[in-house]
Structure 1
Amino acid sequence: MNLHKEIYIPKPSPHDPDNLGHFGSLENGQVGFGGRFVPETLMPALEKLRLDYEAVRFDKEFWAEVDHYYKNYVGRPSSLYFAENLSKELDAKIYLKREDLNHTGAHKINHTVAQAILAKRLGKKKVIAETGAGQHGVATATVAALFGLECEIFMGAKDAARQELNVFRMKLLGAKVHAVESGSKTLKDAMNEAIRHWVTNARDTYYIIGTVAGPHPYPMMIRDIQSIIGWEAKQQLNAVEGCLPDKVIACIGGGSNALGIFNHFLEDESVECIGIEAGGLGLDSKHGCSLAKGSPGVLHGQLSYILQDEDGQVQEAHSISAGLDYPGIGPEHSFLKDEGIAKYDYITDDEALDAFVWLSQAEGIIPAFESSHAIAYLKKMKPDEIKGKTILINLSGRGDKDMIQAKDILKDQFA
């Protein structure tokens, strides 16, 4: 099958939310995960966005335009790489879906291109975005430059310091970057500020959310767009192996790269989809494991698993990776966890760092700290879980952005 000739168009999912954005229902009879928990002034804008997106969701003309930029600007389809050295070491077949090879270095460009095209169709002149690791901010600034849109990016001051190269890239691309000093100065606070800005500027501004989180229709819309990853990977793996993978693994912050590769495998009972949260310093210390240690609550316009105390106050998350340093999770992941449809586990900072070095030296591929969490899970699995298996990993981003941070952390190891 020639992926260069086919146009990716999302398909309805058995896990689609209802018209109000709810995935399933909670055991206590409350509404399902997701929904819209936002100021009343944003409700008309969100409802209009829902209707506008549904009008193009399965429209071949819209996706043909997106496809043009995917193939000629982003560099899709991204390659499926057989990691021969890892495979020999682990006695398995390890395949990497190389989203790190996309223009701007991560999967984020997929949904920024599609959303920018939608924003132009809606007559918007400005776009805003929140960002943690900076990859979504760079991707948003990139498409804003491409399509002639004004652009403002909100980024936690802590993240801006550890991702200074991406901050410069955003500014070079013409974006205005706001370093958010409130709260934990990370992704959560950046998203808070972006939503506040959007409340008063929704008429001429499109909010390009960077993950499968936020108020409906964003979780569904971003999942639809990112599902091109799994759509390609499924066909690519079938072409070289003639089979489905035994396991599909991806890291999870908000969860877009994970749902992007999971979505076309969730109906295949023989495939185990595994999402990897940020274990940080450990589950008894500081971490970003909303699914492992959180409980249902409301954050950033959605009902999902979040890290919160007994009084419902959101707790600070921690991860070596700015992109996973978030106290919440996309609502569909919460649904998939509760229904047992996907499996979720975690990797600590130290394990991710080890995998960062491991993949670099084993395959000559330097992964992002985020993707290193997914790679690290190969070593966490028991031998009988991996031996002889075909395993697909979403390498969601490259490590260029983490070089300054990695150089400081690993300076003694590479003195």
Structure 2
Amino acid sequence: MASYLKTTPDAQGYFGTYGGAMLPPPLVPHFKDITDAYLRISKSADYINELRLIRKHFQGRPTPVSYLKNLSDACGGARLYAKREDLNHTGAHKLNHCMAEGLLARHMGKTKLMAETGAGQHGVALATAAAYFGMECEIHMGEDDIAKEAPNVTRMKLLGAEVVPVSFGGRSLKEAVDSCFESYLKQADTALFAIGSVVGPHPFPMMVRDFQHVVGVEAREQFLEMTGELPDMVAACVGGGSNAMGIFSGFIDDEGVALFGVEPLGSSSNLGDHAATMTYGEDGELHGFRSILLKDPQGAPAEVHTIASGLHYPGVGPEHAHLHRTGRATYVGATDTECLRAFYDLSRREGIIPALESAHAVAFAMREAPANPGKSILINLSGRGDKDIDYVTQNHGFGENLR
């Protein structure tokens, strides 16, 4: 029987009823070119070998799996482990697909990489890839996120990227995508829009998942080597969902491994106070694909809130919507307060400062551990928190009010 990854999505980019490519006519030929180029070179030994060399000698892969003994002891119950994508070059999982997209762009004869970013990790990673391949780089970022994630803005500029502030609407990730698509329409002949998650029109949900598959492959092998068995539960934060699909893909054919996506529950269940798409959303279309999204009373994509800029999106990748509908993955949430508590606890107990996005998955594991004695939970620690420390300490101190 063919594996899940060999059969999903279908040729039109659908994961069950979700996905596809709803594009303005001028972009149709460009996305066909991207699809054709990816399907051709992704099976090429030359492309695969060059990407492996980049991952080993530039990115520093493989990243390790760490046993979180102190946090496990403090929580009681399950044993907690972390796949350390925070140790990937640039500090997050994003470089896994950015270097691959840069390599794809070079093979297509493109001279520029462009993208949206929320927390700035994708922007930094793409600016890094552009510098590596000698390309121009244009990054669109909401003004609210620029203020919140200032260290990453500085890094992008140091790497040579043009950072385009987005001042309309919610001035965050959704608007950054809108702005970048508009700019890309004028430059599609020479630029590649390197979408930053498993979202957008086909082939990007498939491509980004495939490029992030390295996380799941490594994690599965490493966990077996460390413990002699597979984890009982695998958890990752979900905004668009690239880090989650990366680690899920390594275990998706293992029926005994439960997969958990952790969404941002924000500050309340009121619309506009969270970004919990699976929990409160409904079917719809956004940014050229069909998935589950949060809608306002008029049916438009809703304003969302989360302490983590990288999860600040009113939709979710179509593959996550499919896994939710089929029941292969379970989607739960963590509040801003739970996220902050996990941020401080992992920092103090393990010497690992996580990104606020990743801290949502840590919060889930801390919450579930006491009820699961004898089991193991593997977290995808998708990024480090250097970018968040100024924001967290200026607004929440050093966690005194959360103890």
Fold match by TM threshold 0.5? yes
Q: Does 1:315 align with 2:315?
A: no
| 1:59 counterpart (20, 34, 44) | 44
Q: Does 1:227 align with 2:213?
A: yes
Q: Which residue of 1 aligns with 2:270?
A: 284
Q: Which residue of 1 aligns with 2:286?
A: 299
> Structure 2 length as normaliser, TM-score?
0.96
* One-letter amino acid of the structure 1 residue matched with residue 223 of structure 2: L
How far the C-alpha of 1:355 sits from its partner, in A, is: 0.4
Q: Which residue of 2 aligns with 1:214?
A: 200
Spell out, residue by residue over 1:323-350, the C-alpha distance to the aligned partner (whole angstroms, 9 max, x if none): 0111010000000001111000000101
Spell out, residue by residue over 1:295-353, the C-alpha distance to the aligned partner (whole angstroms, 9 max, x if none): 11111111111111243211111100000111010000000001111000000101000
* One-letter amino acid of the structure 1 residue matched with residue 137 of structure 2: C
| 1:365 counterpart (321, 346, 352) | 352
Report the Cα distance in structure 2 between the residues aligned to 1:226 and 1:372, rounded to whole angstroms: 19
| 2:322 counterpart (335, 340, 355) | 335
| 1:99 counterpart (66, 69, 85) | 85
Report the Cα distance in structure 1 between the residues aligned to 2:241 and 2:36, rounded to whole angstroms: 24
Spell out, residue by residue over 1:234-255, the C-alpha distance to the aligned partner (whole angstroms, 9 max, x if none): 0011111111110000000100
Q: Which residue of 1 aligns with 2:336?
A: 349
Q: Does 1:44 align with 2:29?
A: yes
Spell out, residue by residue over 1:185-211, the C-alpha distance to the aligned partner (whole angstroms, 9 max, x if none): 000000001111111211000111100
Three-state SS of the structure 1 residue aligned to 2:40 is: helix
Q: Which residue of 2 aligns with 1:175?
A: 161
Report the Cα distance in structure 2 between the residues aligned to 1:346 and 1:229, rounded to whole angstroms: 22
Three-state SS of the structure 2 residue aligned to 1:406 is: helix
Report the Cα distance in structure 1 between the residues aligned to 2:125 and 2:85, rounded to whole angstroms: 13
How far the C-alpha of 1:258 sits from its partner, in A, is: 0.1
Q: Which residue of 2 aligns with 1:132?
A: 118
| 1:163 counterpart (149, 155, 159) | 149
Q: Which residue of 2 aligns with 1:18?
A: 10
Report the Cα distance in structure 2 between the residues aligned to 1:58 and 1:271, rounded to whole angstroms: 29
How far the C-alpha of 1:414 sits from its partner, in A, is: 6.0
Report the Cα distance in structure 2 between the residues aligned to 1:391 and 1:58, rounded to whole angstroms: 33
Q: Kindly tell me: are residues 144 and 284 of structure 1, through their superposed partners in 2, closer, same or farther at Cα, counting changes over 3 Å?
A: same
How far the C-alpha of 1:86 sits from its partner, in A, is: 1.7
Three-state SS of the structure 2 residue aligned to 1:158 is: helix
Spell out, residue by residue over 1:50-99, the C-alpha distance to the aligned partner (whole angstroms, 9 max, x if none): 11100122322211101111111111000111111122232322111000
Report the Cα distance in structure 2 between the residues aligned to 1:78 and 1:44, rounded to whole angstroms: 37
Q: Kindly tell me: are residues 282 and 150 of structure 1, through their superposed partners in 2, closer, same or farther at Cα, counting changes over 3 Å?
A: same
Spell out, residue by residue over 1:90-139, the C-alpha distance to the aligned partner (whole angstroms, 9 max, x if none): 23221110000011000001000001011001100011010000000000
Report the Cα distance in structure 1 between the residues aligned to 2:143 and 2:12, rounded to whole angstroms: 34
Q: Does 1:190 align with 2:176?
A: yes
Q: Which residue of 1 aligns with 2:229?
A: 243
* One-letter amino acid of the structure 2 residue matched with residue 300 of structure 1: H
Q: 215-224 or 303-312: which moved more?
A: 303-312
How far the C-alpha of 1:283 sits from its partner, in A, is: 1.9
Report the Cα distance in structure 1 between the residues aligned to 2:113 and 2:352, rounded to whole angstroms: 33
Contact 2:223 2:229 in 1 (8 A): yes
Contact 1:375 1:393 in 2 (8 A): yes
Q: Which residue of 2 aligns with 1:141?
A: 127
Q: Kindly tell me: are residues 413 and 344 of structure 1, through their superposed partners in 2, closer, same or farther at Cα, counting changes over 3 Å?
A: closer
Q: Kindly tell me: are residues 14 and 283 of structure 1, through their superposed partners in 2, closer, same or farther at Cα, counting changes over 3 Å?
A: farther
* One-letter amino acid of the structure 2 residue matched with residue 370 of structure 1: E
Contact 2:77 2:369 in 1 (8 A): no
Contact 1:128 1:194 in 2 (8 A): yes
Q: Which residue of 2 aligns with 1:264?
A: 250
Q: Kindly tell me: are residues 323 and 175 of structure 1, through their superposed partners in 2, closer, same or farther at Cα, counting changes over 3 Å?
A: same
Contact 1:153 1:177 in 2 (8 A): yes
Three-state SS of the structure 1 residue aligned to 2:163 is: strand
Q: Which residue of 1 aligns with 2:69?
A: 84
How far the C-alpha of 1:12 sits from its partner, in A, is: 6.6
How far the C-alpha of 1:382 sits from its partner, in A, is: 6.7
| 1:383 counterpart (363, 370, 391) | 370
Contact 1:209 1:218 in 2 (8 A): yes
Report the Cα distance in structure 1 between the residues aligned to 2:104 and 2:365, rounded to whole angstroms: 38
Report the Cα distance in structure 2 between the residues aligned to 1:12 and 1:280, rounded to whole angstroms: 33
* One-letter amino acid of the structure 1 residue matched with residue 359 of structure 2: S
Aligned length: 397
Q: Which residue of 2 aligns with 1:34?
A: 19
Report the Cα distance in structure 2 between the residues aligned to 1:240 and 1:379, rounded to whole angstroms: 21
Spell out, residue by residue over 1:229-288, the C-alpha distance to the aligned partner (whole angstroms, 9 max, x if none): 010000011111111110000000100000000012111111000000011012235100
Report the Cα distance in structure 2 between the residues aligned to 1:389 and 1:235, rounded to whole angstroms: 18
Structure 1 unaligned segments of length 5 or more: list them: 1-10, 25-31
Contact 2:22 2:288 in 1 (8 A): yes
Q: 14-23 or 208-217: which moved more?
A: 14-23
Contact 1:15 1:23 in 2 (8 A): no
